Every structure is written in structure tokens, then in C-alpha cells.
Structure 1
Amino acid sequence: MPAFAANLTMNYPELEFLERFDAAARDGFRGVEFLFPYAFDRMEVSARTQGNDLHVALFNAPPGNWEQGERGLAALPGREEEFRRAIGSALEYSQVLGNSRLHVMAGLRDDEIPYERQMETYLRNIEYAASQAKSLGLTIVLEAINTRNMPGYFLNYQEETKAVCDLVGADNVKIQFDLYHAQIMQGDLAVRLKTLFESIGHIQVASVPDRHEPDEGEINYPYLFALLDRVGYRGWIGCEYNPRASTSDGLGWLHPWRGTIAKTL
């Protein structure tokens, strides 16, 4: 059965971040994910997860200056030292939080820099991140993001991300397959899930087009959840959506899977 992780950056927005761990546990989640924990002491975040018997599925490495519009460092030539420091910070948190996946954001396409140079930088940086994460048993995941929500992001298509994983060639570099982004950019989700299955390290969900609970809109999520069971997906599925109202009140779709734990921890 699918194992769902609450996304504590987007879910429970009415609560302070550290209070969201308690709320997720009360609602039956066994896993959580979030974008950036770095504004909080890692021991305090760990206390919230352990106190609620929660598994941290995933968080992101520092993305550069998020407030100024940066969306990752990995594909930015000239920022390599900053990227390495960011990976170091992320791994310090991983050592305490025990997450199995670390999302490394590529950054935005810079039209003043040849694409080939950005890609070369990206590949080298992902190779470095994978090598540093290896000793922690940590998988680096890479995400294609749609051009509507994040114009100019370096990766937009699932097969593009798969090609990067293949070029890096490390067994701990996988695809973060966000079904919301994939539907907006490409569709044909069932075929892509089956075709790319061996390269998928994490999955995220939200309705399309409104990015709410996965119980409305143009994606048939019950069908896809059953498909993931059939093909043998045993990882977490992150609930990266904006709740329509109260997160807790909108969890009727979760009842069949409440409390399930991913086998790939």
C-alpha cells in the first residue's frame, strides 16, 4: 500500500512549522517531508520527529538565495564552492534527521551562459553531492519542475532528468517524480511511471490544475496509486499540495492508507 508523507512546507499552513509535526502525527501520517529546515536547529526538528514517531522522507539542500528568486545552485557556473557548502549543511541535518532522500535543486537557466556549460557544471555538482551522500546511505533526487510554477527552471521533463541520472552514473542519484509537474508538462503519467520506474527515488502528488488534495482534477490518482502498488513502489509519496481549507478536514482521500510506512527508508 502507498505510504504518504505530509509536506510540512505546504500542509498545515495555519500552524507554525514545528507544530506541524504534531498535527501530521495526529492525522495518521507516519512520514513527513519539507523544503528547507535550516531556519531551525536540527536537534529541535529531530525532537519533533522522534517525539511523534515520524520518519523524515525528504528535504531540499539549500537553494541559494530563495527570497531573491534563486531556485538552486547545482547548474550555476562559478557557484561551486557555495554549492559544496550547501551540501555540507544538508548532510549535517541528514545525519540527525535520518532522511533517505535529499532533493538537490538545479537552479534557473541563464541565457547568457551556454547550455552545455550549465549542464557540465550540473553534472559535476551532482556527482559531488552523490559521493558525499553515499556514506550516509542517502539518495540524491532530481526533479523536473513545470514552467508555469517555476519559469526558467533548468529541468522540465522526466526523461531529461533520467538522462542526467544516467550521465552521472551513481546508484544513489534518482528521479523525484512529481506527478503534478509531470501532468502539466507531459501527461501520459502511467506509461512514464512504468517506463522510468527503476530510476524513480521519490514521488509527490497534488491535483491538477489547482494543486490541492489529490482527490479532484484531471489526474486519476486512485488508478495511479494502484499502479504503483502493482509495479512494486515501496518508497514515500509526498503530499506536496496546498489544502483547500483545513489540512485535517481535507484528508478523506487518505483514509485507506493512513499510517502506512514506506519500505524504502
Structure 2
Amino acid sequence: MGLPYAQDAAISRHLAAFLSRQHGAADDLLGQAGSDFIKPTRVLFNGGVLKAPLLAGRTMAIINGWLTTAGADEAALLTGLDLDLAVARGSAYYGSVRQGQGVRIRGGIASAYYVGIESAMPAIPGMEPPVEALCVAPFGMEEGSEAEVPGREFGLVVGEPVRFRFFGSTTRRDDEAGTLLDFWEPDELEELPEIQATLPVEDRRPGEVVPVRLASRVTEVGTLRLEAIPREGGQRWQVELDVREGQ
């Protein structure tokens, strides 16, 4: 998320945008308060494509060029890794940790996630109703943990096709579950591919609007599970978003 190089191969532009957009993320850690971009001190490559000296060298030259211009020390490249096996070894180690062996590094999800909610503003004929963004998973929420959206109830249509619009933000790090945004800057939230679903009717009528409250869970396999819990009845409705791939 934030590095769409598969659709647009301008790697350097995406890196520059990412480091600039996250400039406030490491103020306390790196002592770079007031900086216009994060100034990395170490670079860790991952993936076999970066075994190519031309790609690795050019990437380092660009990053260090930015740092030199900003009056900062050049970043050092971390070496000694087998880039072809790095991901596989990480996966194997994670499996061992799940079995109680090794040390688990807790970091949580790297974005806050929001679901689109139709605004309560009066409808205007011929125009879609305005959308507000409701935070359902705050930044840093850990795998296996749950969050309930407090104090709010929503209407959920069952038995008919409905669209779920999701948004992600790597910059809004203080929003809690239940924070409702009626306005945001263009670079604060990134809209993700929507999910279309027909939720089962159970013992209700198709098209019925069911009062529900929302809860979310980040699963161990990297999905965000959004759960709608009705005011009455024991059934629950779920949709899942892949928070590792942003889909």
C-alpha cells in the first residue's frame, strides 16, 4: 500500500512520495522532527530481483542523493542475506513462533482502515449521497485482536446486492475505532477495491434494513474481518478485506 509499482514502474517517485508522506512517523525514534521526509540510515532489500547490481546500485544512489541534498549522512546497505530465500525463511520462522518457539515481533497493521458510510445529509436528486469514513481498525491493531465500534448503530440491507467501500490510511495514526470522518485531505485516505456481496436473509425479508453494530478483527492470515451484529437475533454477517495486499 502506497507503492503501486506494479501499475506504474516509476519506483523512485513512489519511494519519494512514501518517505515524504510518512515524514512524521519516526520523529520520536529518529529525532527528525520538522523534516520534510524520513531520512533512512539503513536499507534492507527483499526479493530476488534486487540481486541485480544495476537495480540495487541505482536505488541506493537515488536514496543517498536525496540524503546528501538534505545534508544528512548516506544510508548503509545491509548485506549478508539470501534475497531468494528471505521471504520463505521469514514464513518458516513465523510458523515456529506460532508453535511457541522463537520471539514474535509485534508490529500490528501498518494502516488504519475505514468503511464508507452514507452521510445522513439530505439526498439530492441525481447525486450519490456523500460518504463518510468510519474507522473500524486503528493503526497498529495486532493480528488476532478485535475492536468494536462503540456507541453507533447502522442499517444493513440483507438479501440484495450491496457494496462495501473501504479506505486505508498510513498517515492517520491516532484515529480510534469509531472515529467518523466527514472530510479528509486527498493524500490522507486511499480508497481500496470495493467488495460486493449479497448478505444472506436468514429469517428476514429480502431488502430489509437491519439495525446492526460493527466489530472488526485482524486475523492471523492477514485479513480484516468486518462483522455486523444485529440488535436482535443471533445471526451475524461478515465481509473480509485482505489488509496485506489492500484488496
Q: Could you tell me the TM-score, scaled by structure 2's length?
A: 0.27
Higher relative contact order (CA 8 A, sep 6+): 1
The structure whose residues are more often strand, as a share, is: 2
Structure possessing the higher radius of gyration over alpha carbons: 2
Q: Could you tell me the TM-score, scaled by structure 1's length?
A: 0.25
The structure whose residues are more often helix, as a share, is: 1
